[in-house]
Structure 1
Amino acid sequence: MSAPLSDATLGSIDPRVEQPGYDRSIVTPGIVHLGIGAFHRAHQAAFTDDCLWDGESHWGIVGVSLRSRDTRDALKKQDCLYTLAIRDGDRQQLRVIGSICDILVVPENPALVLEVMSSPDIRIVSLTVTEKAYFRNAAGDLDFGHRDILADLADPRRPRTIFGLIVGAIEQRRLRRIKPFTVMSCDNLAANGRTLHRLLVQFATRRSEELADFIRDHVSCPSTMVDRIVPATTALDRSEVAALLGAEDAWPVACEPFSQWVIEDDFPSGRPSWEHHGATFVNDVEPFELMKLRLLNGAHSAIAYLGQLLRHETVADSFSDPRVARFVRALWRELIPTLQQGAGLKPAAYVEDLALRFGNSALKHRTAQIANDGSQKLPQRIVAAAMERLDRGEPVDHLAFVVAAWIAALLSRQRDTFTDALDRQFANLDPSSNVVEQIFTIAGFASGDPHRIPFAKQVATHLARIDESGVAAALGALNGKA
């Protein structure tokens, strides 16, 4: 068995593996990242590692886990080093990333996390925490009925949520006359920066109007769009990386070669030179964000639910099914007209890149992983686009079929292979009543939109066909019309 990856063993790993070309001992943290999962380590941490190579040594990252200690326990033994395995077909490139300086776990010592975030050296707090961690209600506002939000308001010294952490640290910095950090969401939310800013102000208002006004006027939350396919790490990934690396890595990350980061350039306290390594800084991220959210994430949801119903384990398996590939291309034809025109987008080229990426067999991106929490993902990815098309009198057959496939997966035994934020409520559906209408109500789909009922009826029609003749036949009939 090889020695663990660490600063001490870097010199003995395979020389073909790229490793930090800078002195890690002089790197100091400038970023705190909430949600130190695989995506961050394959994306923002890699961009930042490039900047450290350029000598920007004051932009190291302190990773923070909001719940689990697993990533911390795995990586701290390795001096927070890990391997990025960039895979394309049968080709693989390994790179050791050194941009993470430390990892903290909120439940173990929330006061320490607040103290680190309150340091004047920290100029950016970034997030990849998924949609659930934003605690939004059906209206899109902060859910003040959630027990974690209530707990953070009751005991600000022991925060559990991103709001308790961020607002608490901003308040401490303000009391110490330290300039606020920039807060940068890297999650798949529409207008993620503006959304986060609004929710932070709402949370702060319950603490004090003065604090809320300060955040409203002085805290920057630039919007971003991030894109890279990053499957969950498997035991096979660990063994393959160890064999090639010549050292044991407890938590490597596999990803595709493609990587995109579009960022609104609003960083009053400074930022790394990410643009030197492929990031794009723009005045308005929204058109790029919407293109990715609908064309990539929307197609991903379709591939996942169809894959679940057709028993395809991975995205590549599902997309290699001609029925699924044909459906996705027709879905793209419905989605592309909903994108902003004249914003410099190139959707035709983008979807051709997506087709190649979805077919990358080296990435074992499980459909069950992508299928998680459709009630949180489908409103932005699918339902909003359907409402826009219906408002213009345009067909939504394929958009409706995606929602029907999600419901079919929920109602079948396939639900055992993935989870949903509203799973308990779905378990109590009344089968004698309109199931689609019940699910739309529980999930808050298109609430208040005049096209909600017509769209739900189309979803119900597709769901009935899936139930009566099976997903393959229903998909084949729809593809025949496309």
Structure 2
Amino acid sequence: MTSPAIPDPHRLSAATLAALPPEVEVPGYDRAATRVGIVHFGAGSFHRAHQAAYVDALLASDPNWAICAVSLHSTGVRDALRPQDGLYTLALLDAQPRLRVIGAIAEVLCARDQGAAVMARLADPQVRLVTLTITEKGYCLSADGVDAAHPDIVRDLATPDVPVSAIGWLAEGLRLRRARGVAPFTVLSCDNLADNGGRLRSAVLDYTRRLDPALADWIAREVSFPRSMVDSITPATDDALRARVATALGVADAWPVQREPYTQWVVEDDFRHGRPALEQVGVVMSGDIAGYDRAKLRLLNAPHSALAYLGALLELETVAEAMRHPVLAGFVEQLMRRDIVPSLVLPDRFDPDAYVDAILQRFGNPAIRHLLLQIAWDGSQKLPVRLLDTIAEALAAGRSIERLCLPLAGWMHFVRRQARRGVALVDPLGDELAAIGRAATGDAAHDVPAFLRLPAVLAPLAADARFVDAMQQSYAALGDASPAAVSNALAAADPR
């Protein structure tokens, strides 16, 4: 990687690394001895706070997996990190925050104006893994393959040797390796997308079949696309973080990143031509990614929604503040341990009690300012996938659904309250929900059926009399949805 001819003594770089304060963690290995073994597309904050931190820990024992970080279009990360020799600061947010300088990124490129260099890395036999964090829209997916009408895919199909899409880069890189007799790299999606590896594989195969069926057949036989699951709250970088980091380091860092201390990375162990020993640095290698996804959805996301709606009715502002409300915090813990855990088919060696403990600690982290109203966005889309399966399974098993229905009732009261206050709902069904909210009277027999008639939300259970009855009881239990009424309902649902 090209470094500045004259290092800036006021900027984080290899030249200033040794002078950092002793409380700042620095790479515990010789960066000059590392070799690029990973190409990563999407060099944003999440990758640099998450996967790159794991690789940074691994490089101390295996120098063959340094990262070439590639931005598809933006030059921002490259221009920020190049003068810093790829170094940047990771701030771990907790009651006692910690700073750690990450050295895993050995090269930073922008595909838009460094295409030859990116392609050279993709064709390099030393590179055996390509990872991606490009968000769902970056994959240009259709229901069963690639979106052939997407402008980037249209362009790449016309000129595949100068790609602009991530799918195009992967396909052209694999084509070059096949032509040169080089073993293919493994392709690992690290975006929170259901069946991410399977959907990426389908997209690449669909794309290459349109260009070269023989290449598609080779990819189908030779290339692995492991599934994965990632988790860590990573707030955006802002000037306040830059100022804190500069004060602590004594030098400027153009693009530090921050996250909570908790981090999880689960990867399907399907690598054909060697892989980094990720399990040595805390990555879980598992054949049941869907099980981990399900546990996260039900034990993290569902309680998040419960905190959002019930906490908002209690006039609380953040997740951490909600966890300081003893009645709400107690309710959410019982919801997780007594109602959600029993519904789960868990992966091997998965400890649900430890997982619940970790989530509760994360929720209570005072250094993470996660707004309840932000979590409350898009409730009509989130609540069905976060809660309805658990409720359906509890009904089938003959278990109580009282606590499980209270977050849904809280959402209904939240919609009613926002509508009465004239506050717009951030939701794809915002207009329909607002109309229901304005017409709501506070009477469960009137209001709950109106919500149940929304076909895209609670329809799977709307015809089940047991569910309808439980929802009406939960809605009525919240009374006028005042803080006192909500607190009383939550206390009654937690009989400890």
**Into which bin does the TM-score normalised by the smaller protein fall?**
0.7 to 0.9
Residue matched to 2:368? 363
Measured after TM superposition, the shift of residue 345 of structure 1 is 2.0
Whole-Å Cα distance in 2 between the matches of residues 304 and 239 of structure 1?
31
TM-score w.r.t. length of structure 1: 0.80
Aligned mate of 1:20, from 2, 16, 27: 27
Whole-Å Cα distance in 1 between the matches of residues 105 and 28 of structure 2?
14
Residue matched to 2:78? 72
Residue matched to 2:245? 241
Deviates most, 431-440 or 122-131: 431-440
Deviates most, 277-286 or 102-111: 102-111
Deviates most, 295-304 or 139-148: 139-148
Contact in 2 for aligned 1:33/1:127 (Cα 8 Å): yes
Whole-Å Cα distance in 2 between the matches of residues 148 and 119 of structure 1?
25
Residue matched to 1:350? 355
Q: CA 1:309–1:150 in structure 2 vs 1: closer, same or farther (change >3 Å)? A: farther
Whole-Å Cα distance in 2 between the matches of residues 387 and 160 of structure 1?
44
Aligned mate of 2:178, from 171, 174, 177: 174
Measured after TM superposition, the shift of residue 302 of structure 1 is 4.2
- Give yes or no for the alignment of 1:53 onto 2:57: no
Q: What amino acid sits opposite 2:38 in the alignment?
A: I
Deviates most, 112-121 or 379-388: 379-388
- Give yes or no for the alignment of 1:130 onto 2:138: no
Whole-Å Cα distance in 1 between the matches of residues 397 and 240 of structure 2?
49
Measured after TM superposition, the shift of residue 388 of structure 1 is 4.9
Whole-Å Cα distance in 1 between the matches of residues 140 and 87 of structure 2?
32
Q: CA 1:362–1:27 in structure 2 vs 1: closer, same or farther (change >3 Å)? A: same
Contact in 2 for aligned 1:117/1:169 (Cα 8 Å): yes
Contact in 1 for aligned 2:309/2:407 (Cα 8 Å): no
Measured after TM superposition, the shift of residue 322 of structure 1 is 4.0
Whole-Å Cα distance in 2 between the matches of residues 405 and 116 of structure 1?
54
Residue matched to 1:39? 46
Q: What amino acid sits opposite 2:128 in the alignment?
A: R
Give secondary structure in 2 for the equivalent of 1:58. helix
Give secondary structure in 1 for the equivalent of 2:261. coil
Measured after TM superposition, the shift of residue 33 of structure 1 is 1.5
Over aligned residues, Cα RMSD in angstroms? 4.1
Bigger relative CO (Cα 8 Å, ≥ 6 apart): 1
Whole-Å Cα distance in 2 between the matches of residues 152 and 406 of structure 1?
46
Residue matched to 1:232? 236
Contact in 1 for aligned 2:129/2:188 (Cα 8 Å): yes
Deviates most, 365-374 or 263-272: 365-374
Deviates most, 318-327 or 253-262: 318-327
- Give yes or no for the alignment of 1:189 onto 2:196: no
Measured after TM superposition, the shift of residue 181 of structure 1 is 0.9
Measured after TM superposition, the shift of residue 326 of structure 1 is 4.2
Q: What amino acid sits opposite 2:45 in the alignment?
A: A
Q: CA 1:147–1:17 in structure 2 vs 1: closer, same or farther (change >3 Å)? A: same
- Give yes or no for the alignment of 1:254 onto 2:258: yes
- The C-alpha deviation readout for 1:2-45, integer Å capped at 9, x for no partner, is 81111111122112212123222232211111222222222211
Whole-Å Cα distance in 2 between the matches of residues 152 and 358 of structure 1?
43
Contact in 2 for aligned 1:401/1:462 (Cα 8 Å): no
Contact in 2 for aligned 1:110/1:157 (Cα 8 Å): no
Measured after TM superposition, the shift of residue 213 of structure 1 is 2.8
What residue ranges of structure 1 are gaps of 5+ in the alignment?
none
Give secondary structure in 1 for the equivalent of 2:63. coil
Give secondary structure in 2 for the equivalent of 1:173. helix
Whole-Å Cα distance in 2 between the matches of residues 63 and 376 of structure 1?
33
Q: What amino acid sits opposite 1:179 in the alignment?
A: A
Measured after TM superposition, the shift of residue 112 of structure 1 is 4.5
Q: CA 1:65–1:469 in structure 2 vs 1: closer, same or farther (change >3 Å)? A: farther
1:10-409 matches, within 5 Å, as: 10-54=17-61, 56-89=62-95, 91-110=96-115, 112-136=117-141, 142-304=146-308, 312-322=316-326, 324-332=328-336, 333-341=338-346, 343-367=348-372, 381-382=386-387, 384-386=389-391, 388-389=393-394, 395=401, 396-398=404-406, 400-401=408-409
Q: What amino acid sits opposite 1:236 in the alignment?
A: A
1:423-434 matches, within 5 Å, as: 426=429
Measured after TM superposition, the shift of residue 96 of structure 1 is 0.8
Measured after TM superposition, the shift of residue 148 of structure 1 is 4.3
Measured after TM superposition, the shift of residue 268 of structure 1 is 1.7
Whole-Å Cα distance in 2 between the matches of residues 211 and 475 of structure 1?
60
Measured after TM superposition, the shift of residue 82 of structure 1 is 0.9
Q: What amino acid sits opposite 1:61 in the alignment?
A: I
TM-score w.r.t. length of structure 2: 0.78
Q: CA 1:340–1:460 in structure 2 vs 1: closer, same or farther (change >3 Å)? A: closer
Measured after TM superposition, the shift of residue 222 of structure 1 is 1.8
Whole-Å Cα distance in 2 between the matches of residues 145 and 384 of structure 1?
34
- The C-alpha deviation readout for 1:46-68, integer Å capped at 9, x for no partner, is 111112122x2221111223454
Deviates most, 218-227 or 461-470: 461-470
- The C-alpha deviation readout for 1:182-207, integer Å capped at 9, x for no partner, is 11122223343334323433343444
Q: CA 1:277–1:27 in structure 2 vs 1: closer, same or farther (change >3 Å)? A: same
Whole-Å Cα distance in 1 between the matches of residues 167 and 378 of structure 2?
21
Measured after TM superposition, the shift of residue 468 of structure 1 is 9.9
Give secondary structure in 2 for the equivalent of 1:77. helix
Q: CA 1:405–1:430 in structure 2 vs 1: closer, same or farther (change >3 Å)? A: closer
What residue ranges of structure 2 are gaps of 5+ in the alignment?
1-7, 437-448
Q: What amino acid sits opposite 1:72 in the alignment?
A: R
Deviates most, 251-260 or 458-467: 458-467
Residue matched to 2:441? none
Contact in 1 for aligned 2:39/2:122 (Cα 8 Å): yes
Whole-Å Cα distance in 2 between the matches of residues 466 and 144 of structure 1?
51
Measured after TM superposition, the shift of residue 125 of structure 1 is 1.0
Give secondary structure in 1 for the equivalent of 2:64. coil
Contact in 1 for aligned 2:328/2:487 (Cα 8 Å): no
Contact in 2 for aligned 1:188/1:293 (Cα 8 Å): no
Contact in 1 for aligned 2:26/2:101 (Cα 8 Å): yes
Give secondary structure in 1 for the equivalent of 2:357. helix
